[in-house]
Amino acid sequence: MVNTQAEEQYLQKVYRALKKAEGQLSETLAKGQSSGILALQEMAGDVRLNFDNFADNLDTFAQLEMKNREIDQLNLKQKTAASKLAQVRRLLPQAYFGKVVVDYFDEEEKQSFYIGVNSFNDENENLVYDWRSPVAELFYNNVLGPSAYWANGKKIPVAIDLRRQFVISYDRLKHYFDTHIAIEDDVLLAALGNSASQQMQAITATIQKEQNVIIRDLDHEIILVNGVAGSGKTSTIMQRIAYLLYSLRQEISVDDVLILAPNDKFIQYLAHVLPSLGEKNPRNLTWRKLLAWQLDQPLESEIDYFTRITKSEVDKQTTVLRSQKFAEFVDNASDILQNKNYFQKITVKQKVIIKAETIAEMFATTPKDATFGQRIQSVAVKLRSYWQRRLLKQAQGKAWQDRVLALSETQQQKYFGHLLQDESPKALKKYALRLLQQKYHEIEVAITNFSWLQPAQMLADLYLAYTGERYQAAEVLTVDEATIALLIQHRFIKTSPLATMKYILVDEVQDYTPAQIFLLNQLFTNARFTLVGDYNQAIFNSQTDFTTIGAIFKATKREVIVYDLLNSYRSSGAITATFQQLTAQVDFTIVPVRPKGKKVAVKKLVKLTDLARFLAIEKSVTVITKTQAEADYLTQWWYDQPIMFANENTTKENVTILPISLAKGLEFDHVLLYNASTENYTTEQDRKMLYTATSRGMQELTITYFEELTPLLQFLA
């Protein structure tokens, strides 16, 4: 009781302080806005714009400058107030979720730290500590007794006397409990009990110990997380980004971080997490988009790529392009490329401006003992100065100088930004040069972009050298071709500007090919990686196992740490037990965190109308199919069906139909697996598909089949 009263009082104190701060900050903002408008009005009215003479000019500029500075300061004040107000508003619904009482082994009283999604100070007291602050680590470590944490590079030994969790709604303390009293984590279970939403939610209040280690790991360059379905891999990387942006705020900004996500739908799914934690979203790309952006070329569409990677067979050429061996071969192909001619002419409007032979001659004059990449860079320099010389020569000639003199006033403004002021031969030469530079701007761009090279030909030659077979280029560059094309570009033509990125976070890493992992390692030499995935979910024909992923990084002397996550948070115990049985490893146990829940239902369908009857009584269900074609067929069928819904609020929109490839990474309350029949699921790859599909379900899982249930799910029969 004493505890409860003290906690109630503390909450009231913090809540009052938050409300007060909200009021004050809102007022500051409103005032700031009106004084901002006032300052602008003054600037327009009071500052007399007098440009009559030199002295007046100076005076007017000085006044404008002063006003500008005032406005800048006001803006800064406004920005700070707005960001503080956002922090306060984030805390109002739940001021904090945790508390640790820490003994510093000194004479002083033990200290209590309340942990929330932000920090909050009232005058000189820290009422709430940010979940990312050093001391908050003690809360997540979830131990009582002797412990330690790191702050400012120093290890601080402490003892933890108490670890408390709270359920708070605004000024109401609904519930709290201490870890050493409750074995079960009520707060976690309550959080997990929530229904699936369209967007991923932050897990700040209930981050678990094994996840916290990954979130806060600043020591390792390459972090590889092998986590079972629903173990919080995606949640962990989102929390980790928020943690990095906070802890390393002096060293990195959001522009130094890149997330590589599996598909566009998934990017939408993540979009809300970081803003809800008060952080901006970093650049978020799919692998395909990264390639298209870096190569500045159109690539096969996302749908085409997914269609290709879900096929059961992979052609020989693609297999080579995806292999680590071929990527290594390309990386070391300097000598092969040296002996060939990859130059092409530079043209403008189909007129040849620089001949391929001219470029080849320049290449021939570069040092033979330099690498291919160095020689190409040297050609680029030569080309630029050759082009400058050519323009200069033309500018000296009468023809271009006459053109300058013939320009109308509007054209003079357009090309030079002012009218011709001097018509001396020297000035005319300068004007002519500027005119030429603008007229032939495309040439400069072509030189800078290395458009005088033929990387596609390099790819074809390297393939031939590696396999002894001719290369068959696809009509539109495929993702697999583009991966090698970017490797060639980065290695021999131009270093990617991405090389400056500091943190790369890759989700669903098991779906990357060895060549893609190889390129990731080459592209981001200065970056630290967090790669998360689950080999049991490697359902595509593009995939790499974790040992190979680790080895690719280790081969370049990068230190790799592997974390395993075995606790599964998403699905009910019954669903978790189902996908546990679908893992390839026998000695491997997935730990369900949620209670058992509803039994997994298995239903035989004779006709599709049986399915219609079942869907008509369900409030909301996500139907997962094996292929896109099956999903398309079923969607068409569903919308053509006359259905009598059991509940008048239910509509056809309550049923979502998705192929496994797109359901990946997402979660749904009730999953219905369509057509788990023997004819549909037999192979090892199919087993992974079943694992992936079933693990999307949170509360309910219904498995349907025609004729005979696949042997892979016989354990449910």
Ligand X SMILES: Nc1ncnc2c1ncn2[C@@H]1O[C@H](COP(=O)(O)OP(=O)(O)OP(=O)(O)O)[C@@H](O)[C@H]1O
The residue among 230 and 514 lying less far from ligand X, judged by its C-beta, is 230
Min dist. Cβ of residue 318 to ligand X (A): 26
Interacting residue with ligand X among 119, 141, 147, 211 (CB under 6 A): 211
Q: Quick one: which of 119, 206, 496, 572 contacts ligand X (CB under 6 A)?
A: 206
The burial class, CB within 10 Å (0-12 / 13-18 / 19+), for 559 is exposed
Interface map 170-189 toward ligand X (x if CB under 6 A): ------------------x-
- Paired sense of beta strands 145-151 and 154-169, if any: antiparallel
Q: Which is nearer to ligand X, 206 or 324 (CB)?
A: 206
C-beta of 236: minimal distance to ligand X in Å? 7
Residue whose CB is less far from ligand X, 379 or 509 = 509
State the Cα–Cα distance between residues 582 and 694, nearest whole angstrom: 9
Q: Is 533 annotated as a binding residue?
A: no
Total site size for ligand X, rule CB under 6 A: 23
Nearer to ligand X, 272 or 430 (CB): 272
Of 78, 94, 201, 412, the one binding ligand X (CB under 6 A) is 201
d(CA 670, CA 605): 18
In the beta sheet, which residues pair with residue 173? 168
Q: Which of 232, 455, 514, 597 binds ligand X (CB under 6 A)?
A: 232
Residue 624's Cβ-count burial label (10 Å; 0-12, 13-18, 19+) is buried
If DSSP codes are grouped into helix, strand and coil, which group holds residue 169?
strand
If the CB atoms of residues 596 and 604 are measured against ligand X, the closer one turns out to be 596
Tell me: does residue 207 bind ligand X (CB under 6 A): yes
Task: Considering the complex, state which of residue 233 and residue 688 has its C-beta at the smaller distance from ligand X.
Answer: 233
Q: Give the up-direction half-sphere exposure of residue 430: CA atoms within 13 A in the CB hemisphere.
A: 8
Q: How far is the CB of 141 from ligand X (least distance, A)?
A: 14
- Give residues with Cβ within 8 angstroms of 436, minimum separation 6: 391, 394, 395, 400
Nearer to ligand X, 677 or 699 (CB): 699
> Cα(595)–Cα(597) distance, rounded to whole angstroms?
6
Beta strands in 406-514 (DSSP E): 503-506
| C-alpha span between 41 and 58 (Å, rounded) | 21
230 is an interface residue for ligand X by CB under 6 A: yes
CB of 506 to ligand X, least distance (A): 12
Answer whether 624's CB lies under 8 Å from 590's CB: no
- The two structure tokens encoding residue 194: 């929530």
CB of 237 to ligand X, least distance (A): 8
Stretch that binds ligand X, among 81-89, 226-234, 514-522, 539-547 (CB under 6 A): 226-234
Any contact of residue 191 with ligand X (CB under 6 A)?
A: yes
Q: Is 378 annotated as contributing to ligand binding?
A: no
Q: Give least dist CB 227 to ligand X, A.
A: 5
Contact letters for ligand X, residues 513-542 (x by CB under 6 A): ---------------------x--------
Q: Which residue number, 202 or 498, has a Cβ lying nearer to ligand X?
A: 202
Find the Cα–Cα–Cα–Cα dihedral 188, 193, 194, 196, rounded to 10°: 110
In angstroms, the CA 637 to CA 675 distance is 15
Residue 235 in contact with ligand X, rule: CB under 6 A: yes
Could you tell me the smallest distance in angstroms from the CB atom of residue 698 to ligand X?
Answer: 7
Which one of 205-213, 404-412, 428-436, 679-687 is the stretch in contact with ligand X (CB under 6 A)?
205-213
Question: Annotated binding residue at 233?
Answer: yes
What residues numbered 649-688 form the site for ligand X, per CB under 6 A? 665, 667
Beta bridge partners of 504: 258, 529
| Of 200-208, 495-503, 543-551, 581-589: span binding ligand X (CB under 6 A) | 200-208
Q: Which residues contact 621 (CB under 8 A, 6 or more apart)?
A: 615, 654, 655, 656, 668, 670, 671, 672, 702
Tell me the sheet residues that pair with 163.
100
Q: Is 468 annotated as a binding residue?
A: no
CA-to-CA dists, residue 205 to 118, 130, 229, 567, angstroms: 12, 11, 21, 17
Nearer to ligand X, 142 or 394 (CB): 142
- Determine whether the annotation assigns residue 234 to a binding site: yes
Specify the long-range contacts of residues 406-410, CB closer than 8 Å, at least 24 apart. Answer: 407/435
State whether residue 98 is helix, strand or coil: strand
Q: Say whether residue 233 binds ligand X (CB under 6 A).
A: yes
Q: According to the binding rule CB under 6 A, does residue 376 interact with ligand X? A: no
The reply to whether 229 sits in an annotated binding site is yes
Q: Which is nearer to ligand X, 480 or 667 (CB)?
A: 667
532 annotated ligand-binding residue: no
Q: What's the CA gap between 308 and 535, in Å, rounded?
A: 20
Contact (Cβ atoms closer than 8 angstroms) between residue 117 and residue 131: yes
226 lines the binding site for ligand X (CB under 6 A): no
**Distance, first Cα to last Cα, the chain:** 52
Binders in 558-577 for ligand X, by CB under 6 A: 569-570
| CB nearer ligand X, residue 324 or residue 568 | 568
> Counting contacts by CB under 6 A, is residue 263 touching ligand X?
no
87 or 208, CB closer to ligand X? 208
Q: How far is CA 623 from CA 444, 502, 657, 658, in A?
A: 54, 40, 5, 6
Nearer to ligand X, 243 or 343 (CB): 243
In the beta sheet, which residues pair with residue 563? 225
Q: Which of 141, 179, 231, 317 binds ligand X (CB under 6 A)?
A: 231
Closest residue to ligand X, based on beta-carbon distance: 232
Stretch that binds ligand X, among 5-13, 57-65, 164-172, 204-212 (CB under 6 A): 204-212
List C-alpha distances in Å: 658 to 576, 627, 635, 667. Answer: 21, 9, 9, 12
Closest approach of ligand X to the CB of residue 14, in Å: 23
Annotated binding residues, as ranges?
A: 227-234
Interface ranges with ligand X (CB under 6 A)? 188, 191-192, 201, 203, 206-208, 211, 227, 229-235, 534, 569-570, 665, 667, 695
Annotated binding residues for ATP, as ranges?
A: 227-234
